[in-house]
Amino acid sequence: MCSIAGIFNKKRPIAAAQHDEMASLLEAMHHRGPDARGALQCASWALLGSNRLRITDAGNPGADMPLTSIDGRLAIVYNGEIYNHRDLRQRLSGFPFRTASDTEVILAAYEAWGLACLERLEGMFAFALFDRATQTGLIACDPTGQKTVYLWEDDDALVFASEIDPLIKDPYRRKDWDLDGLAEFIAHRFILGSGTHIRQIRKLESGTWLARTPERQETGRFYRIPRGDLSRTDVPAIQQEIKEAVVDGCRRTFDLEVPYGLLLSGGIDSTAVLAAARRAGLEMKTFSIGFRPTGQLLPRSASVFDEFAYSRALARELSSKHTEITLSDTDYCAYLDRWIAIAGEPLGSQEAPCLIRLFEEAGREARVIFSGSGPDEIFDGYSYGRAVADVPLSDLAERYDAAFRWCGTADLGQLMPHHDAARLTTAKVRAILSLYRDWPLDSLQAVQLLHFHGRLVVYEFRQMDLISMRHSVEARSPLASTGLVRSAFAFQSKLKQLDGHEKGIYKQALADLVPPVIASRKKQGFPIPAEMWFSRPFVERAAILFEPGCVLSGAGLVDQRTLRRLWEDPDPATRNLFSRLYTAEGILRRQAPHLAPSRAA
């Protein structure tokens, strides 16, 4: 697990100043790889760099990056873990390996199979590889989007990095706000597809590659969810396949050389990982979080929410060394400010403070932390998408925006009168669904595909990567394997609500793996009371939105009159909107000195 960066010039050789630029990019991502740093000019026009967090072949400095092949033809910088690297190593026995690292396996796989190697890599990865023989720079991101690369591009150069913030603060490159992207974040909590809030910066999408030579640039896709038999109804066989995929996904990620732990929520997903670890003979440290008010919540608040009773019982039953962490409303807002400081792009915000506190604590004891991320999105664990499950598939793109918004359509239209988030999202939804045009889709299956490409890939995994790596910790998600994703789209969609229960067929498939009380539990989210957004610590912070210097208002994105009206709305769902507005405002204030602001028409 590491950070990567690179510069591919299009018209001129690498200049001395660009070596300084690379050094600045790597220094800004030191937290992602504090164990080693290196840079390599691979050609007159190509420069690669990396920071390494030593996880696999951890004791071997010879596996630091950039790593080159013995003949010097290939060089690579890489972020992630290839879980089947030992199997691939056996198949590539003719390659003269010098390390036990998964990084070198990618070099060998590329030498043997070229671009087709991407289809054989199982795990999470984002890498840049340079082939001196063909003068080609290749960048690729894993199928499920657990690792990504941000790309800044103009007519002269392509610059890339594992995080967006170093690119935004790069003084050599022009940046302008994309207010449409900001509007989409405010409506949906993330920006769907490859877009960001910066016009010149995009994400390399999951399951795709980009190749650059001195003369041309091209992109391609090596992964989409494979088409299964969407008419299947043989429940016992389906459940067996799901269980095997869960166990196999966990087994592959349990190859460890460094201390490890698990985020234990008390739900079925993290419990399944803990149970699989126990069966594999791993003694897992576990970490859970709960919410405790300090008396600063406004009088409307009476709720206290945590899952300690469940996680504590699970830790006891499955013999884990367990740590419980509590957050007060004051703590929560302080960690929200920390999220704004590290996010780099408008993303999420509600769960981020909890994750930061969890990784802060877990990072003191472990270098690898497991989570249960994945099944909620692919096994229909969210109710809000079902609002459009019965509409005709041809109308889904237009209806998606209303179903997935976190505030009323009319309110958002008045709040952001110059930016039609619905129009922007509709085009992106159509592009995603076009990947599956040969599937006999119904609307519910389409919604779950959108959950995968949106909430899971763009939102949850991006947030997890940023927070875990800020604490120099590798986050692994065994339940997001391509095997389990394939199993989730290989039967009739209505079975995901088997017997009327969310994730019904998935829960029944794991009935003999997890305790019965967990298998039957209704899904719970992160422990954040709705009243949090009415607490004094948050109210005091949100006041910046009404100041004369509000960046969102000054840029022409939000209407102050509507903003003030919504602030008086007693509905917690409406007040939740202000967590995103506060996040966006905070990020833009930090980045404003590095950007050229763009006003609405």
Can you give 127-144 as a three-state secondary structure string?
Answer: EEEEECCCCEEEEEECCC
Active site residue 2: yes
Asked if the domains at 2-221 and 235-296+305-331+344-380+438-528 fall in one CATH topology, the answer is no
Q: Please check the confidence at residue 378 and state whether its pLDDT lies above 80.
A: yes
Annotated binding-site positions for L-glutamine? 102
Q: State the pLDDT confidence band at 421, using cuts at 50, 70 and 90.
A: confident
Domain 235-296+305-331+344-380+438-528: give its CATH code: 3.40.50.620
- pLDDT for res 262: 97
- pLDDT for res 601: 26
- pLDDT for res 298: 42
Instruction: Indicate the domain borders of the chain.
Output: 2-221, 235-296+305-331+344-380+438-528
- pLDDT for res 403: 64
- Measured CA to CA, the distance from residue 241 to residue 509 in angstroms comes to 8
Q: Which residue has the higher pLDDT, 595 or 74?
A: 74
Q: Please check the confidence at residue 72 and state whether its pLDDT lies above 50.
A: yes
Fold category of 2-221 in CATH: Glutamine Phosphoribosylpyrophosphate, subunit 1, domain 1 (3.60.20)
At what angle are helices 235-253 and 268-279 packed, to 10 degrees? 70
Q: State the pLDDT confidence band at 302, using cuts at 50, 70 and 90.
A: very low
- pLDDT for res 117: 98
Chain segment 461-502, per-residue pLDDT in tens: 999 999 999 999 999 999 999 999 999 999 998 899 888 888
Task: Tell me what the mean pLDDT of segment 70-94 comes to.
Answer: 96
Annotated binding-site positions? 102, 263, 289, 371-372
Q: Which of 2, 117, 354, 407 is catalytic?
A: 2
Q: State the pLDDT confidence band at 419, using cuts at 50, 70 and 90.
A: confident
- Measured CA to CA, the distance from residue 466 to residue 352 in angstroms comes to 10
Annotated binding-site positions for ATP? 263, 289, 371-372
- pLDDT for res 315: 86
Which of 143-157, 439-453, 565-579 shows the lowest per-residue confidence on average (mean pLDDT)?
A: 565-579
Task: Answer whether the bond into residue 66 is a cis peptide, omega within 30°.
Answer: yes
Task: Tell me what the mean pLDDT of segment 586-596 comes to.
Answer: 91
- pLDDT for res 47: 99
Task: Tell me what the mean pLDDT of segment 66-75 comes to.
Answer: 96
- pLDDT for res 407: 55
Task: Tell me what the mean pLDDT of segment 61-78 comes to.
Answer: 94
Which of 106-110, 199-203, 298-302, 504-508 shows the lowest per-residue confidence on average (mean pLDDT)?
A: 298-302
Q: State the pLDDT confidence band at 600, using cuts at 50, 70 and 90.
A: very low
Task: Tell me what the mean pLDDT of segment 315-324 comes to.
Answer: 88
pTM of the model: 0.94
Going from the C-alpha of 310 to that of each of 271, 290, 337, 499, 517, the distances in angstroms are 10, 11, 29, 24, 9
- Contact partners, residue 317, CB within 8 Å, separation at least 6: 515
Q: State the pLDDT confidence band at 597, using cuts at 50, 70 and 90.
A: very low
Q: For a pLDDT cut of 70, what percent of the chain falls above it?
A: 93
Reading the block at residue 555, the tokens are 């840029």
- pLDDT for res 300: 42
> How high does pLDDT run on average in the chain?
91
